[in-house]
Amino acid sequence: MGRRQELEKKQSLLSRFGASIASENRLESLLSRIAQQVCQVLNADRCSVFLMDQAKGELWTTVALGMEEKIFRMPLGQGVAGQVAKTGKSINLKDAYKDPRFKEDLDRIINYKTRSVLAVPLKNREGKVSGVFEVVNKIRGMFTEEDEGLLSILSTMAASFIENATLYEELRKSHLETIYRMALVAEFRDQKDTAKHLRRMSRFSEILALTMGFSHQEAEDLRYAAPLHDIGKVAIPDSILRKPGQLTPEEYEEMKKHTIYGSKMLTNAESKLLRIASKIAVAHHERYDGSGYPYGLKGEEIPLEARIVSVADVFDALISERVYKGAWTLEDAKQYIKAHERKLFDPQVVAALLKSFDLLVIAMEEENRRMGLEGEMSAVLVSPPQDRRNRSKGLDHK
Ligand code: C2E
Ligand code: SIN
Ligand code: SIN
Ligand code: FE
């Protein structure tokens, strides 16, 4: 290839690189998109983007292990990438295993043999090192000085996108956390394990949605909207909400209004998440056969998100202890959902529950562990203690 052609090729590679990464604003997908593009441009077999975690004094990157993405971390100053991050200077090695700066840890994890490696610093707007770009195993020959220049350009181009995505991620996280904490406030008076119930039912909702073919984004939105389903309970008096026994018909009528209250609190929201939450709040007690409340909507008249949350919420309510009832076993809860297919629940959602049951149990166990109650819970689920068994299975007023 002539010099001129080569330049033109490079230019078009660079502009394609810019266009390709400009369309991603989620940090994780941005990083893997960048790595993939950089590999192509530099004819490398493998590429990593390491980012600095200032608080921990570490670099981290995502590595693909089969179907899974794992986070790999290493201390600043260690390995090739760690050196580059510390000094701000590029490193170009022909034979990594002969250089004491190279660390084999990542190779070992992904079962790989690094030969040549080129690593350049990633600098932010203020010129401070915020990460490292690393390309490994040039397809033919070794990485040249020209490659080094090219990688530096790519790294500069990518830096501002990474910075934006990081800010966006921050914002998103704080938005989600605020929503979640709002939900906690609402259920705080209701039951002692509010946080656990909310985490579990929203994980269940996400898993059911994924099983039913929602995209990852849609399923995640549902996950974060779901905890707000009972926010209207803040307006229900303690004498009803915390009543240890069964509600009178009048009390139950009052209780049912939590759906209307919830939708009023969330009405006309700007944010997409809150709009989904509003639909769920008003419709999560509707029943597939039209016998639910507040409006007696039937089948597809009930928003799909609410049909999903209804299954997730009732399933988790059944396996949980409440002021008015003991905890059911997983098996009993599953049978209950199955038995009420088409009456209470959308058959599609019930099918998803049966199909993903193992995943639901794993998610439940994860959340229980996170809340530090694993021992207690598994004891309850495997064999209900006598006193719980004897307690009312509850809600016979319906
Ligand atoms: P929750 O405790 O979060 O329960 C949510 C839904 O799970 C219930 O909606 C019901 O569909 C299902 N569920 C929960 N426990 C049982 C059970 O033991 N048996 C059966 N068959 N289903 C169960 P529902 O019935 O519309 O109740 C809405 C909310 O009203 C409940 O939320 C709870 O806060 C309150 N509630 C309902 N019944 C009683 C009661 O007898 N006493 C008290 N104190 N509160 C009640
Ligand atoms: C290193 O940077 O020393 C190890 C990381 C790698 O093998 O890519
Ligand atoms: C809960 O999730 O509300 C309680 C779980 C239990 O101990 O049964
Ligand atoms: Fe509810």
Whether the predicted pLDDT of 1 surpasses 80: no
Position with higher pLDDT, 171 vs 392 = 171
- What's the whole-number mean pLDDT along residues 123-129? 85
Measuring from atom 5 of ligand 2, which residue has the nearest CA?
106
- Average confidence (pLDDT) over 13-41: 86
pLDDT at 177: 86
Average pLDDT over residues 122-138: 90
What are residue 176's phi and psi, to 5 degrees? Answer: -65, -40
Mutate to test the pocket of ligand 1, among 198, 204, 254, 255 (most ligand atoms within 8 A of CB): 255
The per-residue pLDDT for 192 is 67
Q: Which residue puts its alpha carbon closest to atom 6 of ligand 3? A: 320
Cβ of 25 less than 6 Å from ligand 1: no
- Checking 374-382 for CB contacts under 8 A at 24+ apart, the result is 380/321, 380/327, 381/319, 381/327, 381/329, 381/330, 382/329
Ligand 3 closest atom vs CA 376: 7
Predicted confidence (pLDDT) at residue 195 exceeds the cutoff of 90: no
Residue from 322, 329, 340, 397 to probe ligand 1 pocket by mutation (most atoms less than 8 Å from CB): 322
The answer to whether residues 277 and 305 touch, using CB atoms and an 8 Å cutoff, is: no
Q: Does residue 67 carry a pLDDT above 70? A: no
pLDDT for 389 equals 33
**233 assigned to active site:** yes
Cβ(191) to ligand 3 under 6 A? Answer: yes
Residues with CB under 6 A from ligand 2: 48, 79-81, 102-103, 106-107, 114, 134, 136
Our answer on whether the CB atom of 374 is closer than 6 Å to any ligand 3 atom is no
Average pLDDT taken over every residue of the chain: 88
Closest by CA to 183, choosing from 306, 294, 273, is 273
Placement of tokens 């070992």 in the chain: 108
> Average pLDDT in the 161-181 region?
86
Question: Is residue 119 over pLDDT 50?
Answer: yes
Q: What pLDDT sits at residue 380?
A: 37
Establish whether residue 34 lines the binding site of ligand 3, counting it when its CB lies within 6 angstroms of any ligand atom: no
Inter-residue long-range contacts of 77-80, CB under 8 Å, 24+ positions, other chains counted: 78/103, 79/103, 79/105, 79/106, 80/117, 80/119, 80/134
Looking at domain 3-167, what is its CATH homologous superfamily? Answer: GAF domain (3.30.450.40)
Partners of 360 in beta bridges? none
Domain with CATH 3.30.450.40 in the chain: 3-167
219-263 pLDDT, tens digit each: 999 999 999 999 999 999 999 998 888 999 999 999 999 999 999
With 70 as the cut, is the pLDDT of residue 17 above it? yes
The best mutation among 71, 111, 134 to test binding of ligand 2, ranked by most ligand atoms within 8 Å of the C-beta, falls on 134
Q: What percent of the chain has pLDDT above 70? A: 91
- Active-site choice (103, 138, 196, 233): 233
pLDDT of residue 69: 76
Cα angle for residues 12, 16, 17 (degrees, 5° grid): 115
Nearest residue by C-alpha to atom 7 in ligand 3: 377
Ligand 2 midpoint to CA 34 (Å): 17
State the ligand closest to the CA atom of 101: 2
Q: What is the mean pLDDT of residues 142-148?
A: 94
| Percentage of the residues of the chain whose pLDDT score is greater than 90 | 58
Ligand 2 mean position, distance from CA 348 (Å): 47
Which residue is closest in CA terms to ligand 1's atom 21?
395
Pick 327 or 65 by higher pLDDT.
327
Q: Sorting pLDDT into bands at 50, 70 and 90, what band is 22?
A: confident
Atom of ligand 3 nearest to the CA of 380: 8
189-396 CATH, one of 1.10.3210.10, 3.40.50.720, 2.40.128.20, 3.60.15.10: 1.10.3210.10
Of the given ranges (119-123, 187-191, 329-333, 362-366), which has the lowest mean pLDDT? 187-191
Cβ partners under 8 Å of residue 143, min gap 6: 42, 44, 92, 116, 117, 118, 135
Whole-structure pTM value:
0.70
Q: How confident is the model at residue 66 (pLDDT cuts 50, 70, 90)?
A: low
| pLDDT tens, position by position, 364-398 | 999 988 876 443 433 333 333 333 333 344 444 44
